[in-house]
């Protein structure tokens, strides 16, 4: 391998040609001459000891090696851009007014802990808040109704920048009158035959509950669905069945003194992956990236015994 290394500019040239499939068009887009562009690509190929393009009368095509390298080059260029933007804004105060969308199944339990800390850190930052279900949040981000959202996976669009925040376990809530109330865990065998209360399908949580019931033989009660976590909790209090609910919500109910019992499910890991997302070309993406890191660190500190590091990759 040559001791020479390709430069950032050469990587940019390579990515631009790959998009254009034409040296002449790429040179015009880059504002340089075609001979200059050609010589830079030749130098890059020599440094990497690999042929990047196959040139013919039909046009310029990526070589098999070039196709393999292109995603890595794009990642490097994106990280380099993030580096420069972050450096340019490091010494500036985070400020401005932004529209924040947050999942209605976590906002009431996380935001009271989160927002006071953010306000102390960034007094010039103004966040206009609105709750919604995951579909509404993602649609609103696409349409511009939100600048930044906190939601749960999966997301449908691949056009957003997505940053992992944390994992939230799913717990089992039972009435103090229920036969399982004296336990701290419930097994898959004990789940078999249990009546499990369900929630509206617009909650991603419902898909997980449905899958669990099918795998372990529980009876999912679909004739009286709850339209919120609170209504589901009320149904549990009346001992109409058990419910799978997010850990932060369950913790909040314990503090209310309702007498409800919170159990862990031992035969399968059931979690929600929470993420922050914003439009990939947002002019404030440097700010949102830092904000996502702050939200993650604050949440993990405040709920260290409940939340865990997220297992999903970025940009899922």
Choose between 47 and 82: higher pLDDT: 47
Band (154; pLDDT cuts 50, 70, 90) = confident
- Mean pLDDT, range 192-203, rounded to an integer: 81
CA distance 115 to 120: 9
Task: Identify the weakest region by mean pLDDT among 88-92, 104-108, 227-231, 297-301.
Answer: 88-92
Report, as an integer, the average pLDDT of 204-212: 83
Report helix, strand or coil for 66. helix
What is the DSSP track for 136-202? HHHHHHHHTS-SEEEEES--S-SSEEEEEEEEEEEEEEE-TTSTTTT-SEE-HHHHTT-EEEEE-TT
Percent residues over pLDDT 90 in the chain: 45
The Cα-based distances of 290 to 83, 159, 181, 244 in angstroms read: 12, 19, 43, 33
User: What pLDDT is recorded for position 312?
Assistant: 47
Percent of the chain with pLDDT over 70: 89
Residue 313 has pLDDT above 60, yes or no: no
Residues of the chain with CATH 1.10.10.10: 8-89
Q: Which pLDDT value is given to residue 33?
A: 93
74-88, 126-140, 156-170 — which is least confidently predicted? 74-88
Q: List Cα–Cα distances, 149 to 5, 233, 249, 281, in angstroms.
A: 39, 26, 20, 15
pLDDT band at 193 (very low <50, low <70, confident <90, very high): very high
pLDDT value at position 96?
A: 85
Question: What's the mean pLDDT in 106-116?
Answer: 89
Q: Give the model confidence (pLDDT) of 246-265 as tens digits.
A: 898 888 766 666 788 989 98
* Strand, helix or coil for residue 286: helix
The C-alpha angle with vertex 170 and arms to 169 and 171, in degrees rounded to 5, equals 115
What average pLDDT does range 121-139 have in this prediction?
A: 91
Q: Does domain 8-89 have CATH number 1.20.1630.10?
A: no
Chain mean pLDDT for the chain: 86
Q: What pLDDT, on a 0 to 100 scale, did the predictor assign at position 98?
A: 94
Please state the rounded mean pLDDT for residues 227-238.
83
User: What pLDDT is recorded for position 225?
Assistant: 65
Every domain range in the chain assigned CATH 3.40.190.10: 96-165+273-302, 168-271
* Cα 112 to Cα 118, 264, 298, 312, distances in angstroms: 11, 25, 12, 26
For 274-307, the pLDDT digits (tens) are 999 999 888 888 889 989 999 999 999 999 889 9
Radius of gyration of the chain, Cα coordinates, nearest whole angstrom: 25
| Helix pair 23-30, 8-20: axis angle to 10 deg | 130
**Rounded (to 5) percent helix, strand, coil in the chain:** 45, 25, 30
pLDDT at residue 316 above 50? Answer: no
How far is it, in rounded angstroms, from Cα 21 to Cα 286?
Answer: 31
What is the average per-residue pLDDT within 168-192? 91
| CATH 3.10.350.10 assigned to 168-271 | no
96-165+273-302: CATH class = alpha beta
Task: Write out pLDDT tens, residues 42-64.
Answer: 999 999 999 999 877 667 889 99
């Amino acid at each position: 391998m040559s001791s020479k290394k390709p430069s950032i500019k050469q990587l940019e040239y390579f990515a631009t040609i790959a998009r254009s499939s034409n040296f002449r068009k790429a040179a015009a887009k880059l504002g340089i001459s075609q001979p200059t562009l050609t010589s830079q690509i030749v130098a890059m190929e020599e440094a990497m000891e690999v042929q990047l393009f196959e040139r013919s009368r039909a046009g310029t095509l990526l070589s098999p090696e070039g196709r393999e390298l292109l995603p890595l080059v794009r990642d490097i260029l994106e990280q380099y851009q993030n580096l420069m933007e972050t450096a340019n804004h490091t010494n500036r105060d985070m400020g401005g007014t932004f529209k924040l969308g947050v999942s209605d199944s976590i906002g009431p339990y996380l935001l009271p802990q989160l927002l006071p800390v953010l306000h102390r850190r960034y007094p010039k930052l103004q966040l206009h808040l609105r709750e919604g279900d995951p579909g509404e949040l993602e649609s609103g981000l696409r349409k511009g109704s939100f600048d930044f959202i906190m939601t749960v996976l999966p997301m449908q669009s691949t056009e957003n920048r997505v940053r992992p925040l944390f994992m939230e376990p799913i717990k089992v809530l039972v009435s103090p009158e229920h036969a399982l109330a004296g336990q701290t865990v419930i097994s898959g065998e004990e789940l078999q035959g249990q009546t499990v209360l369900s929630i509206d399908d617009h909650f991603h949580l419902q898909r997980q509950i449905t899958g669990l019931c099918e795998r372990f033989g529980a009876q999912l009660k679909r004739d009286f669905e709850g339209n919120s976590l609170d209504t589901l909790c009320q149904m549990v209090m009346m001992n109409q069945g058990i419910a799978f609910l997010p850990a932060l919500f369950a913790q909040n109910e314990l503090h209310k003194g309702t007498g409800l019992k919170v159990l862990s499910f031992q035969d399968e890991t059931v979690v929600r992956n929470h993420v922050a997302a914003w439009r990939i070309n947002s002019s404030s993406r440097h700010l949102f990236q830092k904000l996502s890191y702050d939200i993650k660190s604050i949440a993990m500190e405040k709920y260290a015994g409940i939340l865990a590091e997220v297992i999903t990759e970025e940009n899922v």
